[in-house]
Structure 1
Amino acid sequence: MLTSVSSVQFSLAVLFLTAIAFEMPAKAEPPRPNIVWIMSEDNSKHYLKHFDINGVATPAIESMAKHGVTFDRAFSNAPVCSTARSTLITGCYGPRIGTQYHRRSQFVPLPEGVEMFPVYLRDVGYYTTNNSKTDYNALIGEEPWDESSKKASWKNRPEPSTPFFHVETHGQSHEGQLHFNEAATENPTSFSQEDVHVPPYLPDTKLTRFTAAYYRDRISIIDSKVEQTLADLKAAGQLENTFVFYFGDHGGVLPRSKGYVFESGLHVPLVVRVPENYRDLTDRELGSRTNGFVSFIDFAPTVLNLAGVEPPESIDGTAFLGEGVSSVVVDTRDTTFSYSDRMDEKYDLVRAVRVGDWKYIRYFEAQYPNSLENEYRYNMLAYQQWRKMAAESNLTPEQLAFFRPRPVEALFDLSKDPDEVENLALSGEHGSRLMEMRKRLLDHLKSTNDLGFYPEAVFLREGRDNPVQFGVENSQKIAKYIDTANIALLPWDQATSPLIAAMNSGDPWVRYWAFCAASAKVASDPAARTSATLDDSLLKLASRQTLDSEPLVAARAVEFLAILGKVDPREVLNRCVKRSQDEVETLQILNIAAYFHANGDSDFPIDADALEFNFPIDPKGEIKRRLNHFANPPR
């Protein structure tokens, strides 16, 4: 028991300590790290020696790796700019939120509860800058950038102590850099044209070798940009306070890469330099490498986690660096999903999944060859030469495949076939693997309510105001459309009855996918084509549906009949264009016309002057690109 004196002393002591406590300032929050993204446009990991023996040396990027982490399996979820960047800025799968089209016909709003992630950094005091490319497919909600321009820089922050998030994009590696003329091909390249690697799916020509070597020279320029950024940070005393990411904004850029869900279009270089003052935010050794899968949906939550900001629950990605992230767990990640829809004027719905070294691709419009006309692609001389050689049949089967109808599904063992030229889908030896991968992708498409299974024009009319909610409300319909498209996976004798039932559906988009599945099946399978040609009931139904109330369904029906060689599709396609009141719908009808103009088994040249439109044509728009194509002889 305390004496009265000691009680007084105790009370005085408590009062004294309490007074001190009130006078002491609150413990300051530790400073947040700076974060810089350096993006190079349009290059896959294959052009950097740090990632691929056939690449060019990149000393600055390699120096980052020595003081950081190399992610050997990093992936864009989409093989083209606006779609990839929309994923980066939101952390969400494009087909779930309606940002999967390149480029958007209309902007879509951000999902409820999601802002472009630099907003969350600004909320905790970061100075956010972007120099300067955006190219998003979603509407900006709250402003994500303190400055977004060619003058934007972390150096302009209001106080030296203000943490910053800075993005810089370098276009010296962009696809447009390869739109040179014939005279330019006589110039020397620093990278040896004799030693440059030419993948087996491309013709090994002087032009291809020049293009491949010249592009590696562009990567050297990118490395010099990285070097300058690191030097600027060091000169300002900020290098060891800053996480620096270097990565490609998607794959590319030689033919059959950008725009395609092959590894050359998706597999990007990623190096993260770890600053000395924030080593505790990663449990990896400096200079280490990991095979754990990371993809663009993961970049936003990773930056937020490094900054000490809780990511929104409604995004799709998961952090791969920062507090609470175990490198052991990240190293076990082995899956990435990817998607490709419209690229400029070219429609082609493709989905893919990679698990470890296995890759599965589902071509939902397999009737279209990969070579289907895209005006911007064919500005490259290497593309033009490849197409000319294909027309002359002066190529190997691997090189000709780009210009032929595709299989409805493809399976690749990347450990043995990194160039994805040997399709194992028809191999009985890999049947169980095929079924496993097919189910993995199917479950993903349905669980994310993939909006690509609504034609773009229909989605914009009915779902644009709230894409995610539209997907949730129509999840059963989307699943039905996917199942209808997947009838193409059945043997023809098992596919006929469900196809006929679907072609008679009261839902126009079930009918739409039924005809698309039939076209994909017969274009890729000669036996199915023979059987379909002899089926009078199927042919009569398809013929009747060329008068369908929905122009897109009618166009799909005549596409099927024309692939079978039963009709000239041009009259019906012209009529569908004339009936359409919607520019986006019309563009998709013209996509079918473009297939027959140059790429079908039988050419049906389209007369642009015979097409009647219900709206003025934008002289710089996507429809104009198709009309330019029709003005030229079939190629």
Structure 2
Amino acid sequence: MVGLLFLSCKQQQENIQLDPPNIVWITSEDNSKHYMKLFDENGVATPNIEALASQGVVFNHAFSNAPVCSVARSTLISGCYAPRVGAQYHRKIEQVPMPNGVEMYPAYLKSAGYYTTNNSKEDYNFIKSDSVWDDSSKKATYKNRKQGQPFFHVVNLGDSHESRLHFSEEQMKNNPTKTDANTVFVQPNHPNTEVFKYTNAFYRDKMVHIDKQLGEIVKTLETDGLLDSTIIFYFGDHGGVLPGSKGYIYETGLHVPLVVRVPEKYKHLVNAEIGGRENAFVSFKDFGPTVLNLAGIKVPENMDGKPFMGENITKEYLETCDETYSYADRFDEKYDMVRTVRKGKYKYMRSYQPFNFDGLMNNYRYKQLAYKEWAKLYDKGALNEVQAAFFKERPVELLFDVEADPYETKNLANDANFKSKLLELRGKLNNWVESMPDLSFYPEHYLIENAFENPVKFGQDHKNDIKRYIEIANLSLLSFEEAKTSLEKSLKSTDAWDRYWALINCSIFGDKAKEFIPIIQEISKSDTELINKVRAAEYLGLIKHTSPVEVMTQALYQSKQAAEALLIINCIVLMDQEEGNHHYKFNIDVNKIDKNILKVQELERKMNYIKNVINI
């Protein structure tokens, strides 16, 4: 009898332990870790988030894999690297299907009996099925679940969003900040002006308000008697939003705050000290797999992410987690292509099109007074070298010690003392883009036309081609003398995207590639791809050999694809924008542009800019 009683008690204990936890995600939009004292000495106090930390774990190294909403959230919801699955462009011109064998991770929770709710932002670049959320709306709440049903609930806090910094000079004068604007920290790559000081103080005030909202959510859970059965995640959905953060692949765009509160009954699921700090590197591709693991659900093999919490995650494994990979492609109407790897305190940044300088026009960014002032001060020659770098062509490679240099102002790539680290991280990043493979080695419009029915299959079917494009792109890491034979071969290739990457390399080499001018002139006249004509004209314009105006304008008129036209316009703006120091003037007849593609939102934004700045 005693034995049976003991067995019954033991079974009850095991059943208690096996009860799946409720899980709540509280996500604040557009804020890196730099504005909170819990993570950074220059941040403000956030007592409610700090209270969560005292009952859980602070992750010192949590990263979004992309510095912008839709790409970051697509990585979160899928557990997959966006350039592998075709979800890397913000905002989507066309959505892609989820990879074969992978659902959006809440669908697995829902299938396992969880009530899944999202209040309320989605912003996915994927086609969403009906199996993901029980409710995704501004009214979504866990309170509508069945009695005793475990729940997964997402709350999005928008008061830290970039749009909150779209205030006017009049509003700035009439609305003093609670944070002292006279003593607030201003990053070393920013001008220390009244506008930047006010913007910094204003944004820190927003973080205080976010903390208050989080406190109210936690209080509701406590009132509902759910605090002891709920694991709470708090994190930022990517970095931002002071100039050069959101939309840019620097630490201020990627390094997010992450705190996970763990109730007493679920401490066995965390191999970290409660009330302490964890140094393991975790990124958004890992968040979905972690939630599944905490719920006792098998993580799909086709997800790129790995769990960082759960009873099967050891301290020894966490100690091996010391690197993260990130990507930047199109942001609204501004094109770029940058990839990074951070391992420990070192970060390697690879710019595949470095002439697309950071400060290239993006309408939404430049609604902010601080952005506008930054550009004006650059035009006046009033910035120091570090502050002016935003408006200049980047090096192909950058290497930073982000512990000693958190705002990435000192490039170590050419320092002989760091040569071995440069080569190590260059190799890691190159292996990563090859192994995915990275679909961005094709232009976006080509992917939309040819790959978006099944991006992962397309990548695998064309893995050898992508590897060759990567090898051509990597010619820019060599001296011109070492690269020129391969460049010439690629310029004359029958493969359009061999020519594409060879042209981009010529633009990087600049005057050194002048011997290829006859070949490039012919490409600008007769290539089968409009974008190659534009890339050829771009090179000739960058070296000030031939005006690119006629070639680019005619290509824009001929384009029938929105993403292609958008990329052409990006090149036009690069040639026209004053900060780029090229100053070619365009006269564009909007009536000659295909009316169907003008309906795409990003093109509409870019045309508004062209109407105001470029003759039309």
TM-score (norm 2): 0.95
Q: Which residue does the alignment assign to 2:583?
A: 603
Q: Secondary structure at the match of 1:72?
A: strand
2:513 is aligned with what amino acid?
Answer: A
2:391–2:580 CA contact under 8 A, matched in 1:
no
Shift of 1:185: 1.2
CA shift for structure 1 position 610: 6.4
Residue 149 (structure 2) aligned to one of 162, 180, 192: 162
Q: 1:107 pairs with 90, 95, 103, which one?
A: 95
Which deviations, in whole Å up to 9, do the C-alpha atoms of 1:404-435 show, x marking residues without a partner? 11111111111221110111111222112111
> C-alpha distance in 1, partners of 2:236/2:26?
8
Cα distance per residue 1:450-470 (max 9 Å; x no partner): 011110011111110111010
Matches within 5 A, 1:66-465: 66-159=54-147, 161-186=148-173, 187-465=175-453
One-letter code aligned to 1:274: V
8 Å contact kept, 2:110–2:131:
no
**Shift in Å at residue 615 of structure 1?**
3.3
Paired residues of 1:80 and 1:258 also in contact (CA < 8 A): yes
Q: Percent identity?
A: 46
How far apart, in 2, do the equivalents of 1:620 and 1:606 lie?
22
Whether the 8 Å CA contact 1:290–1:331 is kept in 2: the answer is no
Of residues 550, 557, 562, the one that matches 2:541 is: 562
- Letter paired with 2:443: P
- Provide Cα deviations, 1:582-623, integer angstroms capped at 9, x if missing partner: 111111111100101114332012223267223335467211
The answer to whether the aligner puts 1:532 opposite 2:513 as a matched pair is yes
Letter in 1 for 2:90: H
**Aligned residue identity for 1:595:** L
Q: How many Å separate the matches in 2 of 1:28 and 1:398?
A: 59
Query: Does the 8 Å CA contact 2:26/2:233 hold for their aligned counterparts?
Result: yes
For 1:550, the equivalent position in structure 2 comes to 529
Say whether the 8 Å CA contact 1:350–1:363 is kept in structure 2: yes
Displacement, 1:368? 1.4
CA contact (8 A) 1:75 1:268 kept: yes
1:204: how far off? Answer: 0.3
Confirm or deny: 8 A CA contact 2:561 2:597 kept in the other structure: no
* Alpha-carbon separation, structure 1, partners of 2:158 and 2:600: 22
Alpha-carbon separation, structure 1, partners of 2:318 and 2:32: 22
Letter paired with 1:594: V
Aligned to 2:52, which of 55, 64, 67?
A: 64
| Contact 2:360/2:580 (8 A) holds in 1 | no
Structure 1 residue runs without a partner (length 5+): 1-16, 523-528
CA distance in 2 between partners of 1:89 and 1:628 (Å): 33
Q: Which residue of 2 aligns with 1:10?
A: none
- State which of 567, 570, 589 in structure 2 corresponds to 1:588: 567
Does residue 508 of the first structure (1) align with residue 486 of the second (2)?
Answer: no
Cα deviations by residue, 1:164-184 (Å, 9 ceiling, x for unpaired): 000000100000000001112
Residue pairs, 1:25-44, within 5 angstroms: 30-44=18-32
Displacement after TM superposition at 1:520 (Å): 2.2
Secondary structure at the residue paired with 2:538? helix
The 1-side partners of 2:600 and 2:538 are apart by 28
Q: Deviations over 1:306-331 (max 9, x none)?
A: 10101101100110111201133213
1:332: Cα distance to partner?
2.8
Q: 1:631 to 1:266 in 2, by over 3 A?
A: same
Distance in 1 of aligned mates of 2:29 and 2:271: 30
Letter in 2 for 1:626: K
What is the letter of the counterpart of residue 70 of structure 2? S
Cα offsets for 1:328-355 (capped at 9, x unmatched):
3213311000001000111101111000
Q: Which moved more, 1:128-137 or 1:327-336?
A: 327-336
Distance 2:428 2:25 in 1: 32
Partner secondary structure for residue 608 of structure 1: coil
In structure 2, distance between residues paired with 1:356 and 1:611? 53
C-alpha distance after superposition, 1:211-253 (max 9, x if no partner): 0000000001110111011101111111010000000000001
Cα distance in 1 for residues equivalent to 2:475 and 2:371: 34
Aligned partners of 2:580, 2:221: CA distance in 1, in Å?
Answer: 55
Secondary structure of the residue that 2:118 maps to in structure 1? strand
Per-residue deviation, residues 261-313 of structure 1 (Å, max 9, x unmatched): 10000000000000122122113221010111000000001000110101101
- Secondary structure at the residue paired with 1:162? coil
Match of 2:601 in 1: 621
Q: How far apart are 1:142 and its partner, in Å?
A: 4.5
Higher Rg: 1
Q: What SS does the aligned partner of 1:435 have?
A: helix
Q: Give me the whole-angstrom Cα distance separating, in 2, the residues matched to 1:619 and 1:388.
A: 32
Asked whether 1:572 is paired with 2:547, we answer: no
Match of 2:519 in 1: 541
Q: Which amino acid aligns with 1:175?
A: E
Give the distance between the partners of 2:539 and 2:354, measured in 1 at CA.
Answer: 12
Cα drift, residue 124 of structure 1? 1.1
Say which is worse superposed, 123-132 or 578-587, in terms of deviation.
578-587
SS in 2 for 1:331: helix
Q: Secondary structure at 1:100's aligned position in 2?
A: coil
Q: Distance in 1 between matches of 2:232 and 2:524?
A: 56
C-alpha contact (below 8 Å) 2:553/2:588 kept by paired residues = no
Contact 2:272–2:278 under 8 Å retained in 1:
no
Q: Conserved in 2, the CA contact under 8 Å of 1:515 and 1:556? A: yes
Amino acid of the structure 2 residue aligned with 1:542: I
Match of residue 631, structure 1, among 606, 611, 614: 611
CA distance, structure 2, for counterparts of residue 169 and residue 622 of structure 1: 25
**Is the CA contact (8 Å cut-off) linking 2:562 and 2:598 kept in structure 1?**
no
Give the residue type in structure 2 aligned to 1:250. Answer: H
SS where residue 399 of structure 2 aligns? strand
CA distance in 1 between counterparts of 2:154 and 2:253 reads: 22
C-alpha displacement of 1:255: 0.2
How many residue pairs end up in the alignment? 605
Q: Secondary structure at the match of 2:27?
A: strand
Letter of the structure 2 residue corresponding to residue 597 of structure 1: D
List runs of 5+ in structure 2 lacking aligned partners.
none
Deviates more, 1:136-145 or 1:475-484: 136-145
Shift of residue 578, structure 1, vs aligned partner: 2.3
Q: Structure 1 counterpart of 2:608, which letter? A: N
Which shifted more, 615-624 or 183-192? 615-624
Distance 2:445 2:104 in 1: 25
